[in-house]
Amino acid sequence: MVLAFSGWNDAAEAATGAASHLLGCWTDPAFDVVPELVAELDAEDFYDFQVNRPTIVVDESSVRSLTWPGTQIYGLRIPTLENDLVIVRGVEPSMKWKTFTSDLLDLADDLEVEMVITIGSMLADTPHTRPITVSGSGAHPDIAKRLGVEISKYEGPTGILGVIQDGCVRRGLDAISLWAAVPHYASNTPSPKATLALVNALEDFLEISIPQGDLPDESIEWENEVTDLAKEDSDVAEYVKALEESKDSSDLPEATGESIARELERFLRRQSGD
């Protein structure tokens, strides 16, 4: 089960963008996978509509429709993968987080989910011209050690993803969290580069191949657009340069080697999948 929520956990819409990509990337005729809506949590129970308002959409026939904020759960049966995927995409709830988490994890039990992966994105002092860093962590030392991720040492306010991670630990359900670091000065628009980084992190952790679609081209376009905007302000340009120098000096040669190895592994998995 892969979960992403808009709001506090979703800088530059990278996490919900990754969830949306997972729901759409296998619809190509080569895969012909259609997401199945498994369940939808009742918006009336968990959302303050003055905080997350419903939206009105007018179609080409001038017909108006109302969309309520909520959380949808989709199932994906992908013939090329060993396991099915359950994708949870929604808006971070406004209230009753304990009940919300319990309902989600009850559904995970019903669907015989073996692992929960929450994905999020946060603002960070990182340059847009370098690879987006994705950190993986486990909510409990035993889980982190067994699954080969870092132990989460974060202390402070948390979002719904932190509550879900805690709920998984209490139920004895394997769970990890993947977070992309988004440049804080470039978070006003969706970042396909951060979305792609999360998709790649999922590939690496699950050792599967996920179709990339247009994300690589969109990532390059986004980076170029941010670079052009930064050049228009000398202070921002100098700041980006300082971030680049700091990033380059802190990256060890071993880390660069690991990055190359991951890229090679992804390439080989995609060749095998084709």
Label residues 128-146 b or e (16+ Cβ within 10 Å = b): bbeebbbebbbbbeebbee
Task: With cut-offs at 50, 70 and 90, classify the pLDDT of residue 215.
Answer: very high
* Token code pair at residue 86: 């359950």
Please determine, for residue 179, whether its predicted confidence score (pLDDT) is greater than 70: yes
Strand 150-151 relative to strand 134-138, pairing:
parallel
Q: Render pLDDT for 98-126 as a digit per residue (tens, 0 to 9).
A: 999 999 999 999 999 999 999 999 999 99
Q: Both tokens of residue 173?
A: 């359900």
Place of tokens 């670079």: 227
In angstroms, the CA 141 to CA 154 distance is 13
Q: What single letter denotes the amino acid at residue 14? A: A
Percent of the chain's residues with pLDDT above 70: 94
Regarding predicted confidence, which is higher, 242 or 264? 242
**Whether the predicted model's global pTM rises above the 0.85 cut:** yes
Instruction: List the CATH number of the domain containing 187.
Output: 3.40.50.10900
Cα distances (angstroms) measured from residue 242 to each of 235, 236, 245, 248:
11, 10, 5, 10
Rounded CA-CA distance 196/181 in Å is 12
Q: What is the tally of structural domains in the chain?
A: 1
Domain that holds residue 58: 2-273
Rounded to 5 degrees, φ, ψ at 185 are -85, -5
